[in-house]
Amino acid sequence: MAGIPPFRKLEYLLAVARELHFGKAAERLHVDKAHLSREVKGLEKEFDFTVFIRGNHLVAIKEEQLPFVSELEQLLARFAAEFERAVKLARLRARRKASSFVIGYTPFVVSTIPNEIRSVHGRRCPSMRLEMRRASAQELTDSLIPEACQACVVLRPAGARYFEEIQLRSEPLFAVWPSAYRANLGSSVALIELRAHPLILPCSDHTDPVLNRWFFDRCAVAGFKPKVAAEASTTPEAFNLVQDGVGIAVVPGGFCGDAPGTLQCSPIGGLEPLQLVITYRREASLRVQKTIAEIARDLGLGNLAKAG
């Protein structure tokens, strides 16, 4: 016997076993009696044993095949129950996807942004479940492709556009160092002044290759290669590393208000600001595009024109 026989043929066999009559079984299944008889005979041939004793009108199950019929009936009952459970779960997932919206954001997006998104979404789409997910920029942009999340909020250099984007605001980069640091650094730090210092960056080629390459390119234009001492996965971690004497941190300016009093924060001159954008796939559904546009518009964080 090659493989599992079609489910329908097993139903034919069990119907005959229950009715012990081909005519009644055919009537129950809404099929032709001759067709039913041929299918059951073919199935017995595949099994290489006969299940039924056939008389002129009545049918009997062979005694030695009673356990087989009983096990087959239980097997199909379990299959029907598992199939129904699988369908229910699939419906639940489909309804959940239809009524949920996932927005990701990077650790270097200030905490007010996710909170404001939750507030706007709650007013605009109260029946749609919102899930906010924090992850690295690379993880978030990768998840946009299979639609594991519908949108993400990230910091991007101007012109670095891989998906559809709506610009929310500009975010300058600041240098952070201990107030007692003896180096000649003032209220504004030129990028070239960072060449002699170990740096703590908010990204790497693994977590955010776009931003990492942009920063290295800007340093190269200024005439030096940055000395990277560490990568910080969050701003508090960056502040801790600075306090531990690891180096000077480069962080978005929006976080400087949270810096400990022992640290000094100064904008980096000669370095254009980054753009805080909410980004999504170009092929996103109209529902996704409309929801994102409404969230961006209601945030009221500056220029809401499409980036690029």
Q: Which of 6-20, 112-126, 246-260 has the highest mean pLDDT?
A: 246-260
User: Which band of pLDDT confidence, cut at 50, 70 and 90, is reported for residue 308?
Assistant: very low
Residues listed for the chain: 308
pTM: 0.64
pLDDT of residue 225: 94
Which amino acid makes up residue 124? R
- With a CB cutoff of 8 Å and minimum separation 6, the contacts of 19 are 25, 28, 59
Considering only CA atoms, give the Rg of the chain.
33
Residue 179, helix vs strand vs coil: coil
The full set of domains in the chain, from first to last, is 7-96 (1.10.10.10), 99-169+275-299 (3.40.190.10), 173-272 (3.40.190.10)
User: Which band of pLDDT confidence, cut at 50, 70 and 90, is reported for residue 302?
Assistant: very low
Residue with tokens 């066999």: 13
pLDDT at 3 over 90: no
Q: According to DSSP H, which parts of 48-181 are helical?
A: 66-98, 112-124, 137-144
Distance CA 137, CA 140 (A): 5
**What are the Cα distances from residue 154, in Å, to 106, 161, 165, 199?**
6, 11, 10, 21
CA 79 to chain centre: 32
Arithmetic mean of pLDDT over the chain? 85
